[in-house]
Each structure stands twice: as structure tokens, then as C-alpha cells.
Amino acid sequence: MFDRLDDLIVRYEELMSELAEPGVADDQNRFKKLMKEQSDLAPIVEAYQEYKDNQQAIEDALLMIEEESDEEILEMAREELSDAKAKTPELEEKLKILLIPKDPNDDKNVIVEIRAGAGGEEAALFAAEIYRMYVHYVESRGWKVELLEADETGIGGMKNIEFMVKGSGAYSILKYESGVHRVQRVPETESQGRIQTSTCSVAVMPEAEEVDVQIDEKDIRIDVMRASGNGGQCVNTTDSAVRLTHYPTGIVIYSQTEKSQLQNKDKAFALLRAKLYDLEMQKKQDAEAAERRSQIGTGDRAEKIRTYNFPQGRVTDHRINLTLYKLDKIMNGDIQEIIDACIAADQAQKLAKMGD
């Protein structure tokens, strides 16, 4: 580990030298690449320096104990030695976590797709609540939500919702939300007061740039039409809605949230790129099935990951056996504790794999 850390220090110093060269910003692509690599290495360099400072403190304390005879100074040296030794395992663990290979998509924005599953109208109501939960969470982090498409039902439910989250590191946080979410409660439409189980699926996809996914124009059919539903004064009077059909995969994207046909087209292509990129990711993960099963953040889309039990006021994440009795707060976007636990479990599994 320490040989690798020493190599990273050398690379960091090279980057700092390159960034200090006159005219480096003239080539914006090279400058951005250097800045990205420098910012990725900075936390590792800082943590390694902290570790080395702590090791130096141990050496200094040992030397003081060996050479000093004053009991007061000796006592102070012993305390410093004890504190530094106690801190060492924590700093080593921090370094190991920082050295875990980073997911190249972690810094990207995400596109989230929520679909109502089993449970009819109740599933659609639950899907809408899960959407609002994410909106509250995203806004609490200072990120932005951009609605791409929504298929609403008459009583406030949503059969499916697609939205983009823009924020630094959005994918690194929200990727743990992919999977089947289950709700257990008495629906408002249930006259007998019986508890019903309903589901919705959540797919979190990294935003894909044009360089990530090449789309051949021959593979696409673009249809324009008048938008329908609730969308403002112009929604039914102009051909602003856009439908994309991707022949090789059969994926169909419909976008009508904007009044401008161009904006709807841009949103539709953004969603199509994300879905095609996600398909490629899934293929790669399937090829590495054992690794996929060992990672919290890349579970099977059909996997039931979480249950929201309203009668008991609890939420249980089945992947990490975590149960919290604060359902109201969670439904209002307070999901950080669950995400942190998923990240910790994922890191622990990856560290164990690195140690094999």
C-alpha cells in the first residue's frame, strides 16, 4: 500500500508542476484533465501526510522517552505516544478506503426513473411519494432536479417519473437507490382497512455525454406531436412533444415537459443516451457477475432493497439489515443515514475483496 502511496505523491507533484507551467490553461481539455486528476489525488495526499505526521509523532515520543529523565515530560511523551498509536489504525483504514478504485461515473449527474409496480393505483401513489422523497433529499444537498417526463394518474399518483439530478458526485450517492422499493400500509382506497403491499422500481443511471454513447442517426426515428395532459396554455396547441424510437433496442422515449420542441428533443436524447449507457454498464456487470453481487451499489434491478412499513413507522433496508423507526422523516427526504450505511457496507466489501 505504501509503495503505491509514494507513487501517487510523485504523480501529484508532477501534476502541480504541470499546472504551474505558463500557458497551461490555453489548452482547456488538457487543463481540465490535469485539474480533475489533481483534485482526485488531493484527498489521498492529505491523508497520507496526516499518516506520516502521526508516525513522526510516534518516533518523537519514543525518542523523548528514551532520552528524558524529567517525570513530567516523560508523562507527556507517554500520552502523546498512546494517542498517536491509537490513531494509527484509523488513519490506515482511511487510506485504504481512499485507495479503493473509484467508479468513473461517480462524479456524474444522474437520471432517475421511477416506475409503479405491483399494486395498481396504490403503487402509483407510492411512486409519486418516492419521487417527492428524492426531491426533498436532493434540494437539501443544494442539488437541482429537472423533470424529464411524468405519467400522472387522476388522484395524484404517477405510473412513471423520469428526472435528472444535477450535482457534484450525484451518482456516487444516489446509485445505492436502484432496486425495488416496497410499501406496506392501508391504502386510502381500501374500505376494509386491510394492509396492502405495493412496489415501485427505481433505476439510477449516470448521465451519458455524446462521447460516452454513439447514436447512429439511421437507428433513430423522431416523431413530433402535440403534447397532452397538464402542461400549460400551449401544451395542446403546438407540435412540441417529441418521441424517439431506437430501433436496435426498442427503447421509446417520450418528452413533452417543455413548450419548446427543441428542448423536449434535447431531454429525450439525454434520457436515451443514459438508457443506452446503462445497458452497456449492465452487460459489463453481468459479465462480472460475482463482483456485481458483492457490491451494494450495483445490485440487480429486480432486487427488493427496501420496505417502508407505515403501520409500524419503520423503514428496513434489506441489503444491509438496517431498520430505522423514522418513516415520516425518511419520506420527507431524510435518507442520508441509509445512504451512509450503504456506502460503508460497500466499502467494507471492496476492502475485503482487495485483501483476498
Phi-psi region of 313 (alpha: psi -120 to 50; beta: other; left: phi over 0): left
* Helical ranges in 151-260 per DSSP H: 170-174
Does 299 or 78 have the greater pLDDT score?
78
- Is residue 298's pLDDT more than 60? no
CATH architecture, domain 105-356: 2-Layer Sandwich (3.30)
Cα-Cα-Cα-Cα dihedral sign, residues 198, 138, 107, 264: positive
Boundaries of every domain in the chain: 2-98, 105-356
The CA distances from residue 180 to 41, 218, 318, 344, in Å, are: 35, 35, 11, 21
Residue 49, C-alpha cell as written in the block: 501526510
| Residue-wise pLDDT tens digits, 338-347 | 999 999 999 8
3-state secondary structure 248-281: CCCEEEEECCCCCHHHHHHHHHHHHHHHHHHHHH
- Is residue 97's pLDDT more than 90? no
Q: What confidence tier does 309 reach under pLDDT thresholds 50, 70, 90?
A: very high
Mean pLDDT of 286-308: 63
* CA–CA gap between residue 4 and residue 8 (Å, rounded): 6
SS3 call for 189? coil
One-letter amino acid at 335 equals I
* CA–CA gap between residue 336 and residue 176 (Å, rounded): 11
Give the per-residue pLDDT at 265: 85
- Is residue 323's pLDDT more than 90? yes
Q: Which residue has the cell 497551461?
A: 24
Mean pLDDT of 56-84: 87
- Is residue 253's pLDDT more than 70? yes
The domain defined by 2-98 folds into: Methane Monooxygenase Hydroxylase; Chain G, domain 1 (1.20.58)
The pTM score is: 0.74
The CA distances from residue 133 to 127, 235, 328, 335, in Å, are: 10, 28, 10, 8
Measured in degrees and rounded to the nearest 5, phi and psi for residue 199 equal -140, 160
Q: What confidence tier does 191 reach under pLDDT thresholds 50, 70, 90?
A: low
Does 187 or 133 have the greater pLDDT score?
133
Burial class of residue 220, CB neighbours in 10 A (0-12, 13-18, 19+): middle
| Residue-wise pLDDT tens digits, 6-45 | 888 888 888 888 888 888 888 888 888 888 888 888 988 9
List CB contacts of 302: < 8 A, sequence separation 6 or more.
Answer: 179, 180, 201
* CA–CA gap between residue 9 and residue 130 (Å, rounded): 44
| Residue-wise pLDDT tens digits, 192-240 | 778 889 999 999 989 887 667 778 888 888 888 777 655 444 444 567 8
* CA–CA gap between residue 292 and residue 206 (Å, rounded): 17
What's the DSSP call for residue 229?
S
Beta pairing class for 322-324 and 220-225: unpaired
Residue 71, C-alpha cell as written in the block: 517525570
Rg (CA), the chain: 26
Q: What is the mean pLDDT of the chain?
A: 84
Mean pLDDT of 159-180: 92
Q: What confidence tier does 182 reach under pLDDT thresholds 50, 70, 90?
A: very high
Cα-Cα-Cα-Cα dihedral sign, residues 256, 262, 267, 269: positive
- Is residue 78's pLDDT more than 80? yes
